[in-house]
């Protein structure tokens, strides 16, 4: 990350409020089932977690544990390289995939480095947020030469986590009273992305966040974190920030904006953030499961009726994604679009 920018120390107006409550936290769900009764119980647990928290952790998820270890080792090896080596694959205004660090954009409040890649390469998205613009462009991955096994490990891990993503979509669909495959068609040519996060030790943890408060635009996010922890979830019942305790071999799951709209707010995309550590580095690996760019997102018709009318207008996921995915090199001359922009007023 280099030397600390003086602006970082002076940015007292951006100091995060880090009041948290130490509680058991979000539900832990075992995904292994042996019979129909077990499946019904599992679906009920998933639905309750989505309603109450928007977050849950899963064990017995099917992703090889050895691969989970290898991806974190690969991330550490990559981020431990000299900055000039990492910046050989830095992202820019044209290509949003690759390496990025907050120092590069002087965003001193986000204390981290990232490496992004797409599960489908290339991935097609709209050229702009403009509804009248029909042009489609492709996003492509940038892979470093070193470490030599980096690309292979990343791709193997991504394929396995995507399988888990599809399994979770089926369980969430069932929890909404819908067929297991109800949502699967939206992901035939999905725009899913995997990110490697590196949070160096921060000398001024009261002045920064690893990631500020936000909601995910995805349908689902599947996160692997190490034993350092740092993720906090805003509890729906009282707005308090609750730390998510690291559990060995578990994944953290949260529903995103897209599921909030599909479910017509039966399930809510919940705010979360990451706090930094003054002594230990931290690694995490989130998989953002986005639908195909051509999908038109709206409340599912099975969940809408006279007593529960649609709460959102239809919108193009691709246009929404492009507008949300603000470049660090060129700001769009439009509002940073959120799903509340499509909310139907009563």
CATH number of this structure's domain 15-342: 2.60.120.330
Give pLDDT, residue 346: 62
Burial class (CB in 10 A: 0-12, 13-18, 19+), 22: exposed
pLDDT tens-place string over residues 20-40: 333 468 999 999 987 776 999
All residues at 6 or more sequence positions from 323 whose CB lies less than 8 Å from its CB, including other chains: 129, 332, 334, 336, 337
Position 128 scores a pLDDT of 81
Whole-number pLDDT of residue 17: 43
pLDDT at 7: 43
What residues of the chain score a pLDDT lower than 50? 2-23, 104-108, 327-329, 331-332
- Check residue 6 and give its pLDDT: 42
Q: What angle do CA 6, 10, 15 make, to 5 degrees?
A: 125
In this prediction the pTM is 0.88
At 69 the pLDDT is 96
């Amino acid at each position: 990350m280099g030397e600390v920018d003086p602006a970082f120390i002076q940015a007292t107006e951006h100091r995060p409020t880090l009041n948290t409550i130490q509680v058991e936290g979000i539900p832990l769900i075992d995904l292994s089932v042996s019979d129909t009764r077990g499946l019904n119980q599992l679906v009920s647990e998933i639905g309750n977690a989505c309603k109450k928290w928007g977050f849950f952790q899963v064990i017995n998820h099917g992703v090889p544990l050895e691969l989970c270890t290898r991806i974190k080792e690969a991330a550490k090896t990559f981020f431990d390289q000299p900055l000039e080596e990492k910046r050989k694959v830095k992202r820019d205004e044209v290509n949003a995939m690759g390496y990025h660090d907050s120092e590069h954009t002087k965003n001193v409040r986000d204390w981290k480095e990232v490496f992004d890649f797409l599960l489908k390469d290339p991935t097609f998205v709209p050229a702009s947020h403009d509804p009248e613009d029909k042009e489609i462009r492709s996003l492509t991955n940038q892979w470093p030469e070193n470490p030599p096994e980096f690309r292979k490990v990343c791709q193997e891990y991504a394929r396995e986590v995507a399988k888990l993503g599809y399994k979770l979509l089926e369980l969430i669909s069932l929890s909404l009273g819908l067929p297991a495959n109800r949502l699967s068609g939206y992901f035939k040519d999905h725009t899913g992305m995997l990110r490697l996060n590196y949070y160096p030790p921060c000398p001024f943890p009261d002045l920064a966040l690893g990631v500020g408060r936000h909601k995910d635009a995805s349908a689902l996010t599947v996160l692997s974190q190490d034993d350092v922890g740092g993720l906090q979830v805003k509890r729906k019942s009282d707005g308090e920030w609750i730390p998510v305790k690291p559990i060995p071999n578990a994944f953290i799951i949260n529903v995103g904006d897209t599921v909030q709209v599909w479910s017509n707010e039966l399930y809510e995309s919940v705010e979360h953030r990451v706090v930094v550590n003054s002594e230990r580095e931290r690694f995490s690996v989130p998989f953002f499961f986005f639908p195909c760019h051509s999908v038109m997102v709206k409340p599912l018709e099975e969940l809408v009726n006279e007593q529960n009318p649609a709460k959102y207008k239809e919108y193009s996921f691709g246009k929404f994604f492009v507008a949300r995915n603000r470049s660090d090199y060129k700001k769009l001359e439009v509002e940073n679009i959120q799903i509340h922009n499509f909310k139907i007023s009563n």
